[in-house]
Amino acid sequence: MKNFLKSLLAVFGNSMGMAALESDGYAGSQDAPIQKLNPGQLMGKLVVITDKITLTAAITNGDTIEGLMIPEGARVIDAFAHIPVSLGATGIFTVGTRAHNQRVEGAADVAVAQDADSLVGTVDGGGQAALTRAAAGQALLNKKIGAENARIYLTCTETSGVFAAGMQVQYTVICSLG
């Protein structure tokens, strides 16, 4: 287990610095994607990308929070978002990706526009904790990332602006490589 955790830290880094409206891991990933694992590492070829956003101030509708990157060649097989405690009267987010390329087997990569809910639709932390998993129809599920990395981002779609310092929004994306 100890080696497993060391491997995760080596792959994902341990970036704890945070700028306003950026996820905890964003600063360390601006120019470098998460590195691919060697086959057999972690008992397979799965990569789990997880990050959290610690809210330091109220955000408003339409604000976006930059997250980590899905590496080139990864196929998204699942995603979910978690709000561990209520964000107040309202607090709704979506999880999506910035514009990127999608790999099409036997053809050239296809450009994909920015999509605010391509990974997880509505995550409603208003009045309660929330855990939302990607629905079968999410645009990026079972799609392969093309010749560039795909940046994950969250969008606030509804808020009352009543946030206590330290409130969190977390997301996880599970990908297969190869």
Which tops the pLDDT comparison, 3 or 80?
A: 80
Query: What's the CATH architecture for 2-176?
Result: Sandwich (2.60)
pTM of the full structure: 0.70
Pairwise CA distance, residues 178 & 138, whole Å:
21
More confident residue, 67 or 10: 67
pLDDT tens digits for range 60-116: 888 888 888 888 888 888 998 888 887 777 888 889 898 888 888 788 888 888 888
Residue 24 has pLDDT above 50, yes or no: yes
Show me where the domains of the chain are located: 2-176
R_g of the chain, CA atoms, integer Å: 16
What distance lies between CA 31 and its chain's CA centroid?
16
In the predicted model, is pLDDT for residue 41 greater than 50? Answer: no
The pLDDT of residue 40 is 47
Q: What is the dihedral of CA 82, 87, 90, 91, to 10 degrees?
A: -40
Q: What distance in Å separates the CA atoms of residue 24 and residue 4, rounded to the nearest whole number? A: 21
